[in-house]
Amino acid sequence: MDTLNNQSPATQESVWEAFRENDRLLKESRKEFEREMEASRKKFEREMEASREEFAKEMKASREEFDLRMKKQEELLEASSIKFAKEMGESRKEFDRKFGSWGNNFGSFAEEYFSNSFENGKQNFFGEKFDEIEKKVKGIKKGYKDEYDILMINGQSIGIVEVKFKAHENDVPKVLKKAHTFRVNFPEYKDHKVYLGLATMAFYKELEQECIEQGIAIVKQVGDTVVINDKHLKTF
């Protein structure tokens, strides 16, 4: 037995009514979609703003921690220098005259500290063993004059380490430049690989990240030891 179809036949008016209803539903859906998108956008912006604020706080804390550590280092070195001067029976003024400004003293202290660490480490660095370690090597070619705080040499590679008591991000371009000036000043090593490193008594996050991105070894003091991070090294 056939099932009876009780629906009335479609008319032109009912078709247009269906179109109008469809259009109304589409407009409502579009409006709902736009409201949801606007709510999502505002939520995303709030989360991004919170992330930016948190990141800024972390960076500020990192820089403040670095400055505090360096201040303590400077106070410790100054106290040691004053003690040494007293033990030598000399006035502070006389001590300054003989040993130069405090800034120079800090730099000399860092250079001596790190160069001694490399020598005590049997000259292993950049994954290689170096036959020679030289300090404060000067390049004198016109237009390329430069100084290399710690220079390590073997038959195939050169290691150049810039030493700062308190390094900053603006020191990184100076380190990168040394690979070029070295090859000009010492053309006999033109076929050697050149590695670069930055040594300082303390690093802050932005400086470490910049060294990593540029392929420069990180050499820093941690407690009573020297720690070297050279996994990201590039050859120049």
Determine the pLDDT at residue 102.
Answer: 46
- Rounded mean pLDDT of the chain? 78
Of the chain, the end-to-end C-alpha distance in Å amounts to 91
The answer to whether residue 4 scores a pLDDT higher than 50 is no
Q: What percentage of the chain has pLDDT greater than the value 70?
A: 68
Confidence check: pLDDT of 10 > 90: no
- Which one is predicted more confidently, 168 or 66? 168
Q: Which pLDDT band holds residue 121 (cuts at 50, 70, 90)?
A: low
Residue type for 51, please?
A: S
Inform me whether the pLDDT recorded for 188 exceeds 90.
yes
From CA 26, how far away is CA 20, in angstroms rounded? Answer: 10
Residue 35's alpha-carbon distances to 47, 54, 230, in angstroms, are 18, 29, 51
Enumerate the H helices of the chain as residue ranges: 12-87, 92-99, 102-120, 172-185, 205-214
Reported as a single tens digit per residue, the pLDDT across 44-90 is 777 777 767 776 676 666 667 766 776 776 666 666 656 655 655 55
Q: Is 194 helix (H, G, I), strand (E, B) or coil?
A: strand
Q: What is the predicted pLDDT for the residue at 220? A: 87
- Both tokens of 75, joined, read 């106070």
Assess whether pLDDT exceeds 60 at residue 225: yes
Domains annotated for the chain, with CATH where assigned, are 101-229 (3.40.1350.10)
The predicted-structure confidence for 19-53, as pLDDT tens digits, reads as follows 677 767 777 777 777 787 777 777 777 777 776 77
* pLDDT tier at 118, thresholds 50, 70, 90: confident
Q: Please report which confidence band the pLDDT of residue 198 belongs to, taking 50, 70 and 90 as the band edges.
A: very high
pLDDT-derived band of residue 1, with 50, 70 and 90 as boundaries? Answer: very low
Mean pLDDT of 210-231: 88
Give this prediction's pTM: 0.59
Under 8 Å between Cβ of 159 and 129: no
Average pLDDT in the 107-117 region?
76
